[in-house]
Structure 1
Amino acid sequence: MKNSKYKIVVLSDLKKNAITTLKSSVSLAHMIDADLELFHVKKHVDIIKRDNQLSAMRSINEEFISTKNKIKALVDPVSEAYDISIKSNFSFGNIKDEIKTYIKDNKPDVIVLGQRDAAPLKLMGDSITHFLLKEFNGVVMISSSNNALIPNEKMTLGVLNGSDKTFNTALSKDIITHIETPLKSFKVINSQHEKTKGASDFKEDTLEFVFEKNDNTIPTLSSYLSKSNINLLCVDRDENSANGSKSPSVLPLKETVNKLNVSLLVSGAL
């Protein structure tokens, strides 16, 4: 049994959608009674643009103060508005190395990061999202600016190709108590490999939508997610892992993250 609170870490680039991502993280923290911390990394190459050592040190000191003030300006109003303590930390260096070290030292239960507005098809690739899903075994929330989570308000939860095991964790059961019913299940099938079941995998209070896998699946699914006002879509990482049995009826995780402009909650790896 878990005696301590969960720990949520928000990886922030401090750019325009940072406040939306932070508010979504506050919402999740309230649901699961979690401690919340924001972490930011800036590359050295973006700081040191002067040749001599003295100038370089001056640049680092200036950037340290500037970054500290930016984080304070982001975090303090949200912390005050929603009566929640939000810690913050930042570092300079190689982004992936700094994140990897931070995860090892702090052992978060959930990591939250924002979804890029620009170039969504390049979101995975060699990106931070892809890096996290490989390096971090815990839950990852990818926050979208569209229909974002709002602190202290119930949300509409969806499940993509889910099964009962999606909610077999204490964290998931805590989230369930804060959702608007009915739960909405979105299932993508390939009729050549799978027959549509007459009933949902979930026993009650579930509204199920079934989509045939084809070239229009993603646009159609995105439209239904929008019409259903889904704030958070749960995706089971295990169904898409290289170690599991990858069904042709399941959308690949990469495609899901890249093309669905909705906040995603990707389950932890086994």
Structure 2
Amino acid sequence: MADTAQHLDIGRVLNNTFGVIKRNPLIFLGLSFLMVALPQALIQMATGASAVGVDADAMTAMFSSPSMIGTAFGGWLLFVILSILLQATFIIATVKDLNGQAVNLGECVTQALGKILPLIGLGILMTLGIMLGLVLLVIPGLILALMWIVSSPVMMAEDKGIIDSLKRSAELTKGSKRWILLLFVVYMVIASVLGLFMMPFAFAGTVGVTIIGLIINTLTGAIQGTGIAAVYVDLRIVKEGGNTDALANVFA
């Protein structure tokens, strides 16, 4: 029977998010480190961005050198693709875990790779739509971001096309946008607390900044990727009742 509240349960999403990571730390934290934190650190070192916070000349050099600009763009493109692949992998792994199934890293990555091109197309369309909405007095962009937040999980779990994934996400998030926004605020507070704990490393200069980036990006990458999947699962339960059996069968 569906949840009569008919909106996202923040407590359940948080419990599921951190529970999944706790049960599979090597997969979620390890992948987040390899596919988000480490690439970001390497890009920063290649472009000199890691020194921007401690050396003003590094910022000038970064934006005045064509090679640096090219390296930054190439690194950014690689980072986006890796982030999309990571999100898709976490969606599959999260659903399997919440259904009590063993999480096989190889299977999750293989299934995610099979959807990488449609996911990239979805990401481009979402970005353009949200950016346009932000230009139009900000609020429309925020609404679109909340409305489309589970488009990627929809595409992975329900095998829908780009437009249908956006429509389905809008349907699932109806009535829960304020709760999703509140969940974002909770995650921001968590990220801020993590940042405070990492502050002492900042006094070690560039090395300290790099260490802070690796730790925070690993943690936030895992939490963000798992959290979006957990939001999708919770919205399915709220809107349609039952559990994650039907989703798990998709990834069987």
Task: Point out which structure has higher relative CO (alpha carbons under 8 A, 6+ apart).
Answer: 2
TM-score category, normalised to shorter length:
under 0.3
- Give the structure with the larger strand fraction: 1
Question: Which has more radius of gyration?
Answer: 1
Q: Give the TM-score, by structure 2 length.
A: 0.24
- Give the structure with the larger helix fraction: 2
